[in-house]
Structure 1
């Protein structure tokens, strides 16, 4: 039986060492980047967001070391990149309880917030309840958690949802794993969605009409992306974000000299996207 309180992919977290510099790098890829946010002191982190229709990308950096952000600091000691994926939940407390009823010791829920600079010059607040799957449950090296938005109007701001590259949503998250089938089946068990073979990859839907997760081995991943695109990518873990764009030519123009065209897609190399391959396909 599917998890009742998980509604599909909400956002992905790209963890970076220099938060402000990374925001400028992503702007150069044709994204509209939000003003910088500062999370509650318990988290000790700051962020920039890149908003789409129902989902988004989050650039996350450490501002102050806390117990809560130790896993992120451990990740950054090895690499920058796509550290976590968040699922939308309609009730974080009920979602955590549902995991516990299945023998998974969920962490949370935790409540936090951050100030938001609004287009009219005023300041609002974005507030969330989140819970995490146990830290040792990280299929293909990807940590997962769930996020309940209490103030969607201060996160999905229309002025932030239009991008020079035409991006409209996350189409899929691609994970490089030594054993793609095992990693996909692991995620399948954690979120109660089926794992199926699709060509040379294994796919797990995130729920509803939201993005899919695809798991590849090194050989199939190398066939999918030219060497120039894989420059700067890690040899394991979540490695690529594929975004739907309203206009593939527009995406290529926004990327400029970084654009690599291949297999009906346009991609920017990982070394231009904080260790993450950023790829665009027609919506």
Structure 2
């Protein structure tokens, strides 16, 4: 529980950081607003078309007696929209980070500068960094897609599909949100995707403590936009803690939260 609380602490501190640096908060809003418009249109389209998609995919139910076709199709329509929302929450961060790469890189660097004085640099050209970010995002989204399909199938399991599966879904969402956000700071520290995932697995509870509350908040589109700058700042603080660049609470007398071990 202490590690979960520590992860949440980074998220809160990140929001406080951007509120205390208003210019960076404004800069960090722009990519999220652009992405929000794109995703809102996609979700509205899914909302209108999900029932037609389900009806097209279930012709075998046409011969069933009432009310079973309607019950099946209504349940599947809800699941399709929930799946779409799940994917939107996951991919929103990846797309926003890709759109706003230069903005968030600068924001993350400023957090490092104010917190530690030194700013790690990858030394790579901007186009190379964009390519690496896009490539890693595709790899992460492929993993998320596999989880989404599995969780969608498990959603049909009685009781567990309506209780345990949603909880697992939120944990998956939070974990990969944390990975996408910490990538901004960890990539500047020369860590490739494999190393980043290993680092987060080694601090799983702290990662979930940061990512799961953020994932729940990101269910509300406008909230996601306004939290995004602070999420990047908080993820930079989390990265500093996980790599041992921040002092522990005890070392600072209850100050900043730091890395485990």
TM-score category (smaller protein)? under 0.3
Indicate the structure (1 or 2) with the bigger Cα radius of gyration. 2
- Greater percentage in strand: 1
Q: Comparing both structures, which one devotes a greater share of its residues to helix?
A: 2
TM-score (normalizing by structure 2): 0.27
| TM norm structure 1 | 0.25
